[in-house]
Amino acid sequence: MKKAAILATVLLGLLPISTAWADVNTDKAVALRKAISVAKIDFCDAEATLKNVLPIGGITPTYLVKLHIDGQRIDGECNRGSGTGDSMLVMVKKLNNQMVVTNHDLFAEFGNQAHQPNTRFVQKIILISPGVIRLITNEYARNDGNCCPTLRYSYDVQLDGMRIIQKRFLGKGEPQWD
């Protein structure tokens, strides 16, 4: 009986922690679904999992969602082919208790910056400070095939304007497929 009471006390003590975790996870799931639904307006497929949702904080709960997209929609029809896969980075904010896409593709803001990342092969996104993310991505070596870049780089990027702050070569690794 005493063991059961101790176990109940421990488990009840964990409830507020697990409830808070569930709220964050629920918001992440809603942000993910919202990003996918907006992407599917312009693309045939948009995929991601909760591990592709990065809470970035701020006064308003804000999330970055990295989606793998494929096949652009043109006049409602899917246009697919070899090499049509890519990634997009969607910003979703919780405004008035609703998830709202505030930027449908941050990667498009790179524009024509010199030495910009190959967004097709972004492997990881990390928040390194408020307003600054680090992208880990693969790029092509001279003899790499279209499917499989082997050079690993990190890019520190200021979210406001998607300005590249720093690019670092991390080494040559195993080929990464999209």
pLDDT in tens, 79-124: 876 666 889 999 999 999 999 999 999 999 988 777 889 898 999 9
C-alpha distances in angstroms, 112 versus 40, 49, 73, 117? 26, 30, 24, 11
Give SS3 for 86: strand
Nearest to 44 by CA among 88, 87, 74: 74
- The mean pLDDT of 141-149, rounded to a whole number, is 86
Alpha-carbon distance of 135 to 64, in angstroms, equals 12
* pTM of this structure: 0.80
- 3-state secondary structure at position 40: helix
What's the pLDDT at 24? 56
pLDDT the model gives residue 22 = 41
Which residues have CB under 8 Å from 134's CB, separation 6+?
125, 126, 128, 154, 155, 156, 157
Q: What is the pLDDT of residues 32-90, one digit of tens each?
A: 999 999 999 999 899 999 999 999 988 899 999 999 998 888 888 888 766 668 899 99
